[in-house]
């Protein structure tokens, strides 16, 4: 599993799908197939038209588009981001100032001192200026879980083996009556 490099950001609001697609196409590397991870809410049908936003993306992009719905499990996505940052598994370019600012401003909702029913309170992030962080969560959740490389420590294994051998000898000696 490789490191994730974020080298470009794109954020747009209040655009038609066709306008958004036009911008996205200009950012994609030429002659390369690109996987676009899209907000899972785009699968919902519009109440007035009955259309889904994701279908508009397919229509606007044309054939050969690869769209995947993002995993909207917020807690798992935040945990994965934390793991990646802690393990130095993600690098974000200084060319992404909006994303960096959004990550730095990311905050949790304050928890009440107690709930009215005495039950548990689910921690949730504030839904303020979080579109780029959501997009980053969708990205990291499409990647395999990073695992650190496992190096066999032969010295420790040898020492453990030696201790086991000593225990076996003592056990064998006591069973035979030599102890």
Q: Tens of pLDDT along 72-87?
A: 999 899 989 988 888 8
pLDDT of residue 93: 94
Q: What is the pTM of this model?
A: 0.71
What the block records as the tokens of 50 is 């009955």
60 pLDDT band, cuts 50/70/90, is confident
From residue 13, alpha-carbon distances to 16, 60, 127, 179 in Å are 9, 17, 16, 81
Phi-psi region of 177 (alpha: psi -120 to 50; beta: other; left: phi over 0): left
How many CB atoms within 10 Å of residue 133?
19
Helix axes 53-61, 17-27, angle to 10 degrees: 50
């Amino acid at each position: 599993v490789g490191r994730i490099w974020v080298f470009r950001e794109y954020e747009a609001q209040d655009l038609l799908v066709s306008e958004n697609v036009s911008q996205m196409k200009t950012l994609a590397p030429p002659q390369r197939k690109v996987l676009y991870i899209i907000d899972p809410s785009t699968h919902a049908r519009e109440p007035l038209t009955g259309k889904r936003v994701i279908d508009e993306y397919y229509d606007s992009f044309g054939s050969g588009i690869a769209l995947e719905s993002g995993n909207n499990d917020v807690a798992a996505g935040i945990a994965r981001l934390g793991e990646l940052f802690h393990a130095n598994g993600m690098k974000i370019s200084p060319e992404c100032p909006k994303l960096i600012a959004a990550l730095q401003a990311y905050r949790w909702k304050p928890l009440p001192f107690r709930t009215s029913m005495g039950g548990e309170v689910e921690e949730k992030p504030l839904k303020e200026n979080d579109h780029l962080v959501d997009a980053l969560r969708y990205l990291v959740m499409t990647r395999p879980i990073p695992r650190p490389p496992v190096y066999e420590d032969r010295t420790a294994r040898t020492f453990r083996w030696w201790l086991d051998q000593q225990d076996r000898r003592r056990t064998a000696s006591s069973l035979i009556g030599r102890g």
